[in-house]
Amino acid sequence: MYILTVRVDFQGGMYVVKKAMIIVNPSSGKEEAEKNKSKVEDLLRKKGYDVIIKLTEKELDAMEFARTSCLEAFDIVVSMGGDGTLNETVNGLAGQKHCPNFGIIPMGTVNDFARALNIPLDFDEAVELIEKGETRAVDIGKVNDRYFMNIIAVGAIAEATYQVSPKQKTMLGPVAYMIEGLKTLTSKTAYDIELKHDHGTWKGDALLVLAALTNSVGGFEKIAPDAEVDDGKLKCLVVHDVSLPKFIKIGTELLQGEHIHDDKIEYITTSKLEITSSEKLHSNIDGEEGDPLPLKIEMLPKHLDIYVP
């Protein structure tokens, strides 16, 4: 027989129930999220929380669960899944009057946001962060009417990553994204782009535009080497229309963090950004298909309190 044990805090002359929600993508981490959710539940119950577990079944479930946690004044929300589950959870938490503390158990292919925050990719070590209870206020971004926590990309390479299958992600990890991106090199299509930022306007033909909140993009951690998670700034990177050999050279520089000084790269630090084009382009937002251009991007500085080392 299951017995619900509810612990309460005495605050301001009344008893307050402490509530935690665990949002689980059952298919993440080769189904390890589903197997290990009870460990997180046990920890939170020992810390005095009434715990609810929510399993995602379809797109946007995680967003709706997270939004409910805000409306019902939960104290903690924990995301167990990959970057897709995390993005949905962030979209449910952002912009709400009440926002719970946020725990991240990274169980996806790339886990960019976790890498940027130095959250361990090891399950037990990530759970230990929640047990310790130390949080950091972290930026997120808003693009048009949705939120993101890591990267916006525009260009043929960015659109090619939509083709990465779950099987490729499982087998190859971050390399799967690189393989799909490399397939576009034979066409090497540039687009006319206009960027409006804090310091003015950039116009020109570009192969790729990235707007990053963190230093980790697609599992590679030097693409925005000076990015900070709580400085209220975006790092915008534009690759000019260059020859194929030069583009390959820039790709090598990107992986080594040496690209920001290349004269065929624009590297812009800004708190807001507008991206437009005369052509019909779609964005890639946190690894998933995003809005079509134009994009209006702004920062929400130190918006979420996240358990970190």
39: helix, strand or coil = helix
What does DSSP say about strands 200-212 and 234-240: parallel, antiparallel, or unpaired?
antiparallel
**Contact in structure between 295 and 283 (CB atoms under 8 Å):** yes
Helix (H) or strand (E) holding 268: strand 265-270
Locate tokens 């116009």: which residue? 203
d(CA 272, CA 154): 16
Question: Closest by alpha carbon to 287, among 187, 212, 234?
Answer: 212
**Proportion of the chain in helix, strand, coil states, percent, rounded to 5:** 30, 35, 35
**Contact in structure between 177 and 164 (CB atoms under 8 Å):** yes
Q: How far is CA 174 from CA 51, 82, 135, 164, 211, in A?
A: 33, 13, 28, 10, 19
Catalytic residue annotation: 288
